[in-house]
């Protein structure tokens, strides 16, 4: 057995009202990829943030190459050779790629305070080349897609030449080719002796990339196994402490025939071209396609979150005039954003408020006073139904784990009780157990006569849940498939059917998440 | 800012012309040109040399204050104390030079350092005690105002024993080299303003302090996680702002040949207005020194032009308010597009 790079033992951490970690442990060898898995809120991010100096531990020891170390802040972690890619993007959108990568350790020219931007641009180009990323280091981060921003985060973490590299769900927003690129880099680093901690909810990835797996549950260490000695089911059992049924609830009940939503003649510059489709009552309509195919843009156009060149929306057969997102809610259309942190939640407010926020009017009594008992009951109901892990309804949302925030967005729109629900990547960052809960929920909603558009980059999810599938490529609808005829291959064919459109400078997108479930 | 409907990432790489930084400066600059053309056409007096010098002089102090607060606003903060800190610095300059009889250069440096000290205190309260900038600088605004009145005994302090003090801003170094050329008789204050602007611009675009100014305003948490000592740089930014307020105070004292303890309140709002008209976003992360200078000139041209057209003072104020709103609305439109 090689010498241990990192040992964390007896780690304790409490937040007000939450015992996030108790007697937790973790170890990392040089030259290994060590996966860390567990349900939403199990304490994975907290554990690694302690190692990266973001949080301080209440008790326990951290040994780095056998020597006990104190890591009071991120800077100290950097000096010890520990770098972390956070679950949520942590970039400065107004700065360029190069400025982001070198923030905090800018090379200076001559005088101590003068920046050398030429140097950081040149070095950044090297890091980007290493990742086969064809981007100009002087591009502002705000102008990049979420996937490219994630790649910039990765480039930044690599640029530290760290010995310990922590990746907290790095692939959540990446396309398949970018994931391949990431795995290639990870293997290269591993061969150079870097120890890599890899947090993910995509269990397939474990078997592709990791050497060992550590499972956490409820802030405690459950166990560590060699990846080659274990199975997916075994890992799941360790995670949830029981067997869960991963097989889908079989849906495929015919939806009714009346059309509740129809979109015609939707155009937006080079982003969307002549998009037309309809949605029937009780139907789950899957939107498949590559990252950047324009699926999110369609949703945002319907609720008028972005300006478009032309669009006609018909709700229950009548022309709907939607000029703002709140108009959309009045027409009974709810949109669950893929980027919960930016658009989906009010992070500084508590769980209860966030759940009722989109439907406050329902909770008003005489004189416009909010009926607290009613809001509390509703919030309690959804917290229970979706198994949202929170110490109380008064917890600030920013203190919830990433996956629990995602569940909260869903609760919010279920409360709003809109007839048409657009789910954009509803299971991103959600653990296996909760995933099947969400599938069941979507199914129930459709049974109750709600109509659902589900945008997802995970093909198996689309195939398993949809009554009908629309495939997009480069801003056009290139195909429509019924559940019966749809296969991964057919969807892929449509998803790569380019229509002789001028390419943007972004590298050609590739099909994401094929083969994940 | 309307977070919930903020447009997603650009799909086309080219930013629309309406959004680009160059255009933003052009918009404010265009507004300035239009104002100048309008007032020149409306009154023959507007383009008189003396009037133009008046405009430049009127811009000098407000411009210097605006330069400092540009940094603070780019970090996403605000500094409401610069007006009274300016006054306090002027009063302390009076104390140093007139009361204590210190040499003028020492008094000048002392005055500027007084402003810097106020900035250090602002920054420390904000960074270490975590009191929001609006509140802490509001407090400092009152403290500086009160101290000015206490120290001066409510009376102006004159610089009558040091005749070399007033020419520091009101004299014309350039004009004395070419005594016969009328259009070169430009007071030093104007050159101080432009000198300060060039320095501010270099700090903002070329130095580490400038880089962290933008980083703090863009995403403070990410900056912290990147290992930057956020507190220290925040203090540095407020100190810089205070230093400019100190410079403004010294300039004000020199121009009036006296420290007027009751003056100052309200100057912070003029400065903030100039910054905002210049396209710096109050939500942080973006802004330019050029924009601020243009914004400061928009303000002073407006006031001057309206006065020349004999618009009553009260109405000047009303129009100024309207212009601020229109300018910021144009900027919001610019951001929403593209
Ligand atoms: N800053 C904080 N304040 C209060 N509670 C917190 C804070 N950060 C995390 N927690 C709580 O600690 C627990 C563990 O959270 P953590 O983010 O480590 O989970 P996780 O395993 O990363 O989950 P996910 O898979 O959803 O990202 C959760 O119950 C969470 O609500
Ligand atoms: Mg997490």
B338 close to A (CB below 8 A):
no
Residue B217 has a pLDDT of 95
Higher per-residue confidence, B89 vs B1? B89
Verify whether the Cβ–Cβ distance B207 to A113 is below 8 Å.
yes
Read off the pLDDT of residues B286-303 as tens digits, 9 standing for 90 and up. 999 999 999 999 999 999
Average pLDDT over residues A310-324: 93
Report yes or no on A302 lying in a domain.
yes
Cβ A93–B219 below 8 Å, yes or no? Answer: yes
Structure tokens at A392: 């109380």
pLDDT at A404 over 90: no
Share of chain B above pLDDT 90, in %: 74
| Position in ligand 1 atom list of the atom nearest CA A403 | 26
Residue of B338 and A491 predicted with greater confidence: A491
User: Residue B219 — very low, low, confident or very high, per pLDDT cuts 50/70/90?
Assistant: very high
| Residue A161 confidence (pLDDT) above 90 | no
This prediction has a pTM of 0.80
Domain co-membership, A33 together with A153: yes
Percent of chain A with pLDDT over 90: 44
pLDDT score at A372:
85
Q: Chain-wide mean pLDDT for chain A? A: 86
Same domain, A26 and A137: yes
Give CA angle at A514 (A482, A421), nearest 5°: 50
pLDDT value of position A250: 55
Please state, as a whole number, how many other Cβ atoms lie within 10 Å of the Cβ of residue A330. 12
Work out the percent of chain A whose per-residue pLDDT is above 70. Answer: 91
Domain final residue, candidates A207, A240, A273: A240
Residue A504 pLDDT exceeds 80: no
Please report whether residue A437 resides in a domain: no
pLDDT at A508: 38
Convert the pLDDT of each residue in B132-149 to its tens digit: 999 999 999 999 999 999
Contact A17, A392 (CB under 8 A): yes
Q: Which atom of ligand 1 is nearest to the CA of A401?
A: 17
Q: Do A234 and A173 belong to one domain?
A: yes
Tens-digit pLDDT profile for residues B96-133: 999 999 999 999 999 999 999 999 999 999 999 999 99
Q: Both A265 and A153 in a single domain?
A: no
Q: What is the arithmetic mean of pLDDT over A307-329?
A: 91
User: How long is chain A?
Assistant: 517
Closest listed residue to residue A101, CA positions, set B7, B226, B333, B53: B226
Residues of B with CB below 8 A from A101's CB? none
B206–A92 CB contact, under 8 Å: no
Q: Which domain holds residue A147?
A: 6-240
**Residue B304, pLDDT above cutoff 90:** yes
- Calculate mean pLDDT across residues A370-379: 87
**A102, pLDDT greater than 90:** yes
Mean pLDDT across A245-268: 74
pLDDT score, position A409: 85
- A136 or A110, which is more confident: A136
Residue A202 predicted with pLDDT over 60: yes
Long-range contacts of residues B278-282, Cβ cutoff 8 Å, at least 24 apart: B278/B28, B278/B66, B278/B70, B279/B24, B279/B25, B279/B27, B279/B28, B279/B331, B280/B70, B280/B73, B280/B74, B281/B73, B281/B331, B281/B335, B282/B73, B282/B78
**pLDDT at A242 (0 to 100):** 60
CATH for A216: 3.40.50.300
Report the share of chain B in percent with pLDDT over 70: 91
Within this chain, do residues A31 and A156 fall inside the same structural domain, yes or no?
Answer: yes
Residue A85 belongs to a domain: yes
φ, ψ of residue A90 in degrees (nearest 5):
-125, 70
Of A240, A267, A288, which closes a domain?
A240
Neighbours of B130 (CB within 10 A): 9
User: A182 and A36, same structural domain?
Assistant: yes
Lowest-confidence pick of A28-37, A312-321, A385-394: A385-394
Among B7, B8, B74, B228, the residue to mutate for chain A (most A Cβ within 10 A): B8
Higher pLDDT, A349 or A226: A226
CA-wise closest residue to A54 among A90, A99, A23, A102: A90
Instruction: Please name the residue of chain B whose CA is at the shortest distance from the CA of residue A157.
Output: B226
**pLDDT exceeds 80 at position B220:** yes
Are A141 and A112 in the same domain?
A: yes
Ligand 1 nearest-atom number relative to CA A405: 26
Closest alpha carbon within chain B to A303? B5
Total number of domains in chain A: 3
CA A399 to centroid of ligand 2, rounded, Å: 11
pLDDT at A503 over 60: no
Query: A-contacting residues of B 269-298, CB under 8 Å?
Result: 285-286
pLDDT > 70? residue A343: no
Per-residue pLDDT tens for A13-45? 999 888 999 999 999 999 999 999 998 889 999
Q: What pLDDT shows up at residue B90?
A: 97
User: Chain B contacts of A115, Cβ < 8 Å?
Assistant: 206-208, 210-211
Asked whether residue B16 carries a pLDDT value surpassing 50, the answer given is no
Closest C-alpha to ligand 1, atom 8: A399
Write down the mean pLDDT value for chain B. Answer: 89
pLDDT digits (tens, 9 = 90+) for B164-216: 999 999 999 888 888 888 888 899 999 999 999 999 999 999 999 999 999 99
pLDDT band at B231, cuts 50/70/90?
very high
Is A103 in Cβ contact with B211 (below 8 Å)?
yes
Which ligand approaches the C-alpha of residue A40 most closely?
A: 1
Residue-level pLDDT at B9: 37
- Encode chain B in three state secondary structure: CCHHHCCCCCCCCCCCCCCCHHHHHHHHHHHHHHHHHHHHHHCCCCCCHHHHHHHHHHHHHHHHHHHHHHHHHHCCCCCCCHHHHHHHHHHHHHHHHHHCCCCHHHHHHHHHHHHHHHHHHHHHHHHHCCCCHHHHHHHHHHHHHHHHHHHHCCCCEECCCCCCCCHHHHCCHHHHHCCCCHHHCCCHHHHHHHHHHHHHHHHHHHEHHHHHHHHHHHCHHHHHHCCCCHHHHHHHHHHHHHHHHHHHHHHHHHHHCEECCCCCCCHHHHHHHHHHHCCCCCCCCCCCHHHHHHHHHHHHHHHHHHHHCCCCHHHHHHHHHHHHHHHHHHHHHHHHCC
CB contact under 8 A, B211 and A99: yes
Q: Is residue A436 part of a domain?
A: no
Kindly state if the Cβ of A400 falls inside 6 Å of ligand 1: yes
Tokens of A30: 């040089």
Q: Which residue of A has its CA nearest to B6?
A: A305
B3 contacts in chain A (CB < 8 Å)? 342-343
Question: What is the mean pLDDT of the segment spanning A215-231?
Answer: 93
Distance from A257 to chain B by nearest Cα, in Å? 33
CA distances from A397 to A352, A403, A406, B206, B285 (A): 9, 11, 10, 38, 25
> Higher confidence at residue B183 or residue B253?
B253
Of A317, A299, A320, nearest to A308 by C-alpha is A299
Residue of B288 and B23 predicted with greater confidence:
B288
Task: Confirm whether A441 is domain-assigned.
Answer: no
Contacts of B224 (CB under 8 A, 6+ apart): A74, B230
Residue of B nearest to A141 (CA): B9
- Same domain? A458 vs A320: yes
- Rounded CA-CA distance A341/A370 in Å is 26
How large is the average pLDDT for residues B29-51? 91
Return the pLDDT at A340: 66
Of the ranges A80-94, A160-174, A241-255, A339-353, which one carries the lowest mean pLDDT score? A241-255
Query: Looking at the structure, do residues A69 and A159 belong to the same domain, yes or no?
Result: yes
Q: How far is CA B13 from CA A116, A135, A144, A322, A451, in A?
A: 26, 11, 9, 28, 35
Q: Which of residues 130-189 of B touch A (CB under 8 A)?
A: none
For the stretch A427-470, pLDDT in tens is 887 888 778 878 888 888 888 888 999 999 888 889 888 999 99
How far is it, in rounded angstroms, from Cα A195 to Cα A181? Answer: 18
CATH of domain B21-34+46-175+186-333: 1.10.3470
With 60 as the cut, is the pLDDT of residue A509 above it? no
- Alpha carbon distance A327, A325 (integer Å): 5
Check whether residue A107 and residue A161 sit in a common domain. yes
Q: Among partner residues A115, A271, A324, which is closest to B208 by beta-carbon distance? A: A115
Strand extents, DSSP E, A356-450: 420-424
What H or E segment, with its residue span, contains residue A288?
strand A284-289
Atom number in ligand 1 closest to CA A87:
27
Q: Which of B3, B15, B219, B279 to mutate to test the interface with A (most CBs of A within 10 A)?
A: B219
């Amino acid at each position: 057995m090689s010498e241990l790079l990192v040992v964390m033992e007896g780690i304790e951490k409490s937040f007000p009202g939450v015992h996030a970690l108790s007697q937790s442990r973790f170890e990392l060898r040089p030259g290994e990829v060590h996966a860390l898995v567990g349900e939403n809120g199990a304490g994975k991010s907290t554990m690694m943030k302690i190692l990266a100096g973001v949080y301080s531990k209440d008790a326990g020891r951290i040994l780095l190459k056998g020597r006990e170390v104190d890591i009071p802040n991120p800077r100290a972690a950097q000096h010890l050779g520990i770098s972390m890619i956070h679950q949520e993007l942590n970039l400065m959108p107004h700065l360029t790629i190069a400025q982001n990568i070198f923030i905090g350790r800018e090379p200076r020219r001559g005088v101590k305070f003068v920046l050398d931007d030429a140097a950081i641009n040149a070095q950044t180009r090297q890091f980007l080349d290493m990742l086969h990323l064809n981007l100009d280091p002087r591009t502002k981060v705000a102008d990049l897609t979420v996937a490219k921003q994630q790649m910039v985060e990765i480039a930044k973490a690599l640029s530290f030449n760290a010995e310990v590299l922590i990746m907290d769900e790095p692939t959540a927003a990446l396309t398949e080719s970018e994931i391949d690129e990431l795995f290639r880099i990870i293997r290269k680093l591993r061969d150079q002796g870097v120890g890599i901690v890899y947090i993910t909810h995509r269990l397939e990835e474990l078997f592709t990339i990791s050497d060992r797996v550590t499972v956490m549950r409820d802030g405690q260490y459950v166990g560590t196994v060699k990846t080659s000695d274990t199975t997916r089911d075994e890992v799941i059992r360790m995670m949830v402490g029981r067997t869960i049924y991963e097989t889908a609830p079989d849906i495929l009940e015919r939806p009714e025939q009346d059309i509740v939503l129809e979109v015609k003649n939707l155009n937006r510059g080079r982003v969307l071209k002549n998009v037309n489709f309809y949605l029937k009552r009780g139907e789950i309509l899957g939107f498949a396609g590559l990252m950047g195919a324009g699926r999110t843009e369609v949703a945002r156009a319907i609720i008028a979150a972005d300006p478009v060149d032309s669009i006609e929306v018909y709700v229950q057969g009548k022309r709907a005039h939607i000029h703002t997102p709140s108009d959309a809610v009045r027409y009974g259309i709810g949109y669950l954003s893929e980027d919960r942190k930016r658009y989906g939640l009010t992070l500084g407010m508590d769980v209860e408020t966030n759940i009722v926020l989109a439907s406050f009017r329902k909770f008003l009594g005489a004189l416009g006073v909010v009926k607290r008992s009613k809001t509390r009951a509703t919030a309690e109901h959804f917290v229970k139904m979706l198994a949202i892990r929170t110490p109380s309804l008064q917890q600030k949302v920013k203190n919830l784990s990433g996956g629990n925030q995602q569940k909260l967005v869903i609760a919010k729109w279920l409360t709003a009780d809109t007839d048409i629900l657009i789910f954009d990547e509803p299971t991103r960052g959600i653990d296996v157990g909760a995933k099947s809960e969400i599938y069941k929920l979507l199914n129930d909603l459709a049974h109750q006569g709600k109509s659902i558009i589900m945008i997802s980059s995970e093909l198996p999810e689309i195939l398993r849940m949809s009554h009908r599938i629309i495939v997009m490529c480069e801003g056009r609808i290139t195909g429509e498939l019924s559940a019966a005829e749809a296969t991964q291959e057919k969807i892929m064919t449509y998803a790569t059917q380019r229509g002789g459109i001028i390419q943007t400078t972004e590298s050609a997108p590739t099909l994401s998440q094929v083969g994940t479930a | 800012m309307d977070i919930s409907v903020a447009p997603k990432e650009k799909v086309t790489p080219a930013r629309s012309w309406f959004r680009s930084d160059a255009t933003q400066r052009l918009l404010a600059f265009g507004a300035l040109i239009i104002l100048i053309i309008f007032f020149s056409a409306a009154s023959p007096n507007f383009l008189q040399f003396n009037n133009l010098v008046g405009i430049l002089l009127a811009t000098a102090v407000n411009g210097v204050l605006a330069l400092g607060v540009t940094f603070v606003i780019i970090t996403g903060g605000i500094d409401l104390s610069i007006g009274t800190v300016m006054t306090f610095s002027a009063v302390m300059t009076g104390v140093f030079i007139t009361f204590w009889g210190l040499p003028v250069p020492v008094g000048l440096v002392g005055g500027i350092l007084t402003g810097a000290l106020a900035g250090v205190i602002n920054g420390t309260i904000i960074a270490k005690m975590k009191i929001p900038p609006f509140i802490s600088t509001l407090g400092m605004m009152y403290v500086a105002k009160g101290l000015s009145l206490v120290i001066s005994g409510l009376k102006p302090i004159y610089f009558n024993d040091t005749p070399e003090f007033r020419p520091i801003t009101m004299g014309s170094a350039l004009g004395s080299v070419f005594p016969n050329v009328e259009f070169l008789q430009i007071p030093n204050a104007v050159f101080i303003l432009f000198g300060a602007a060039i320095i501010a611009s270099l700090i903002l675009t070329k130095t580490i302090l400038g880089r962290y100014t933008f980083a703090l305003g863009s995403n403070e948490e990410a900056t912290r996680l990147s290992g930057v000592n956020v507190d220290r740089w925040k203090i540095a930014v407020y100190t810089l702002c205070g230093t400019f307020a100190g410079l403004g105070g010294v300039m004000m004292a020199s121009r009036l040949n006296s420290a007027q303890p009751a003056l100052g309140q309200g100057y912070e709002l003029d400065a903030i207005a100039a910054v905002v008209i210049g396209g710096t976003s109050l939500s942080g992360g973006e802004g330019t020194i050029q924009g601020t200078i243009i914004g400061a000139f928009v303000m002073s041209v407006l006031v001057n032009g309206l006065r020349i057209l004999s618009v009553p003072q009260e109405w000047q104020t009303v129009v100024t308010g309207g212009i601020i709103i229109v300018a910021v609305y144009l900027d919001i439109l610019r951001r929403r597009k593209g």
